[in-house]
Structure 1
Amino acid sequence: MITRELAAFVEFARNVAPDFGPATARAAFLVAPDGFRLAEQSAADNRYMATAVDFDAVHAARQHHELQRALSQVLPTVCFAGDAETPDAVFPNNVFATAAGRYVVGRMRHPVRQREAERVDIRGFLGGVLDYAEIDLSTQQHACELTGSLVIDRARGLGFCGLSERCDEEGARLMHEAFGLRATLLFDLAPGEYHTNVVLAVLAGRAALVSPGGFADPRVPQAIADLYAPHGIMLSPGEHAAFAGNAIALSDDVVWMSARAAGALAPGTREAIAAAGFQVRAVELDGIEAGGGSLRCCVAEIF
């Protein structure tokens, strides 16, 4: 099922067992912020990006290394070299994603990011070292920026796809098929939002962080929160702006987010996350966040 019909999706999703696959990844990879700078094409539709003077490549590299070190305590975390010709490559989850036995290459909206899909080293690692089959969506014309646009409940095989300039309906359909999902809900993001994973995080299949201001139709975030009740956690505008929705669970008991995001959490939000069985771990990433994304955007999961 892939649909815009909210009621139909919810009726289906409520009865889906968490037996689709592992709820969290078995490994992850990052791409170093080598040559990290403002990508003007990306800035055209990413309101979270800072101005050029706010980019500090040395500071970003130091924080990115600490991110890899921290995540490596939880699961194997590989880091590929960056490239000055692809300044947004620090956010590889938009370009490369995996499912059982296969990897998907996305179609990026902007040419500066389309270059990332040509990385022979990452393709060689996923296809050669891991021996995953390739599903290459990068050469077709419909934008589909993978797990930036499509938030996936891996335990249930459910997708939540926000449509924007970064993903159209056909791109969503292609991703739905590539990941082999049971059901995907399509909805419009609010004006000014570019990726779903900035406004929604599904945590190990049993909880959700939801920023209602990021959705064009207020019924959608409420329905998603209800679907994960009692652990559907609504974020305030301040938490949303601080990237609290750009979080990820890489194990059953920890949710990762940037220090800025963690610092913005209200006491009630922290309590709700704890009640869902998670502790919050945070990494300083203000240098990376200048690029318009945060911790989750840096992590390409390997399932």
Structure 2
Amino acid sequence: MIRGYSPRRYLMCPPEHFRVAYAINPWMDPGKPVDTALAVAQWEALRERYRALGHTVDELAPRRELPDMVFAANGATVLGGRVLGARFAHRERAEEADAHHDWYTTHGFTEVRPAEHTNEGEGDFTPTASWLLAARGFRSDPLAVQEAQEYFGRPAIGLHLVDPAFYHLDTALCVLAGDEIMYYPGAFSPGSRAVLRRLFPDALLATAEDARAFGLNAVSDGHHVLLPQEASGLVEPLRLRGYEPVPVHLSELLKGGGSVKCCTAEIRG
């Protein structure tokens, strides 16, 4: 089966000021040096790959005092042209929410809502054709699930993350197309695993090895699946389902605990 895809619109932020200056997830180690020039080159290669596939990429201007702004997926969630802003769990990233809010309000979006409850944008919110999957456990407040459901008018499914290595939903689960997903069961509580099995009985299940290589921090346009090249175990299973895996190299950004999806906010009209 060969799947079709639709052009997407993405928002990304160049890693000009990216560095690991603090540790707010298990992957960050301020003692490990970051090659900023290499991070920029790897990020630019990802941006150009999107454009070569026919997608639109807008850019958010980076701020020197906010080294994690490259992880643009965390700044807001956009669905049906409505924007729900982020409210970051850690003070080190708090001002990123204002940068995203300003970008949307100055780029023609008229329904932009600052969050009342802690959420980190598409880090913990991801829509399928039928639901809005919404994680909690490390970064997002359980009340954020209800807030997103009320704002977007889409049934929200709360999923509880239990492994600190998978501190955001987008490190443990990826929507491929429609209601088809891939995920790592070990990242979720027993009850949430049961919910995922019931809603997505045909999901692609990732191994711990591929999940820890950030293989689920991927972006799918319905046909192409851009994912870290280190998650090689997902390549053939994706091909067997009719997807075209597109491995990319983001080794420097992995030092901050993010990969393809973390760098990519989707603007859903």
Length-normalised TM-score, structure 2: 0.89
Distance apart, 1:201 and its partner CA: 0.7
Give unmatched runs, 5+ long, in structure 1.
Answer: 1-22
Please point out which of 16, 35, 38 is paired with 1:34: 16
Distance apart, 1:127 and its partner CA: 2.6
Q: Secondary structure at the match of 1:194?
A: coil
Distance apart, 1:91 and its partner CA: 0.8
Q: Secondary structure at the match of 2:88?
A: coil
Match of 1:240 in 2: 211
Alignment of 1:52-201 (within 5 A): 52-74=31-53, 75-119=55-99, 122-137=100-115, 140=116, 142-153=117-128, 155-156=129-130, 158-181=131-154, 183-192=155-164, 193-201=166-174
Once residues 265 and 7 of structure 2 are traced to their aligned partners in structure 1, the CA distance between those partners, rounded to angstroms, is 9
Once residues 247 and 111 of structure 1 are traced to their aligned partners in structure 2, the CA distance between those partners, rounded to angstroms, is 26
Match of 2:262 in 1: 297
Q: Which one has the bigger helix percentage?
A: 1
Q: Residues 34 and 214 (structure 1 numbering): CA distance in 2 closer, same or farther, change over 3 Å?
A: same
Contact persistence 1:108–1:143 (CA under 8 A): yes
Once residues 178 and 52 of structure 1 are traced to their aligned partners in structure 2, the CA distance between those partners, rounded to angstroms, is 41
Once residues 39 and 152 of structure 1 are traced to their aligned partners in structure 2, the CA distance between those partners, rounded to angstroms, is 32
Distance apart, 1:25 and its partner CA: 6.7
Once residues 225 and 247 of structure 1 are traced to their aligned partners in structure 2, the CA distance between those partners, rounded to angstroms, is 21
Once residues 236 and 165 of structure 1 are traced to their aligned partners in structure 2, the CA distance between those partners, rounded to angstroms, is 22
Please point out which of 283, 287, 291 is paired with 2:248: 283
Match of 1:10 in 2: none
Contact persistence 1:260–1:285 (CA under 8 A): no
Residue 92 of structure 1 aligns with an amino acid whose one-letter code is: A
Say if 2:235 is the partner of 1:270: yes
Once residues 38 and 57 of structure 2 are traced to their aligned partners in structure 1, the CA distance between those partners, rounded to angstroms, is 21
Deviation readout 1:196-227 (Å, 9 max, x if unpaired): 1101111122421111111122x533542553
Distance apart, 1:116 and its partner CA: 0.7
Once residues 100 and 81 of structure 1 are traced to their aligned partners in structure 2, the CA distance between those partners, rounded to angstroms, is 24
Contact persistence 1:189–1:196 (CA under 8 A): yes
Aligned residues: CA RMSD: 2.0
Once residues 229 and 25 of structure 1 are traced to their aligned partners in structure 2, the CA distance between those partners, rounded to angstroms, is 28
Contact persistence 2:86–2:119 (CA under 8 A): yes
Contact persistence 2:78–2:84 (CA under 8 A): yes
Once residues 61 and 224 of structure 1 are traced to their aligned partners in structure 2, the CA distance between those partners, rounded to angstroms, is 36
Q: Residues 225 and 70 (structure 1 numbering): CA distance in 2 closer, same or farther, change over 3 Å?
A: farther
Q: Secondary structure at the match of 1:72?
A: helix
Contact persistence 2:126–2:175 (CA under 8 A): yes
Q: Residues 28 and 278 (structure 1 numbering): CA distance in 2 closer, same or farther, change over 3 Å?
A: same
Deviation readout 1:255-297 (Å, 9 max, x if unpaired): 1112222x3x1xxx43331232211002110011111011011
Once residues 302 and 133 of structure 1 are traced to their aligned partners in structure 2, the CA distance between those partners, rounded to angstroms, is 13
Match of 2:199 in 1: 227
Identity of aligned residues (%): 25
Q: Residues 112 and 71 (structure 1 numbering): CA distance in 2 closer, same or farther, change over 3 Å?
A: same
Q: Residues 289 and 256 (structure 1 numbering): CA distance in 2 closer, same or farther, change over 3 Å?
A: same
Contact persistence 1:34–1:81 (CA under 8 A): no
Once residues 123 and 188 of structure 1 are traced to their aligned partners in structure 2, the CA distance between those partners, rounded to angstroms, is 27
Distance apart, 1:98 and its partner CA: 1.0
Once residues 243 and 139 of structure 2 are traced to their aligned partners in structure 1, the CA distance between those partners, rounded to angstroms, is 31
Q: Residues 222 and 282 (structure 1 numbering): CA distance in 2 closer, same or farther, change over 3 Å?
A: farther
Length-normalised TM-score, structure 1: 0.80
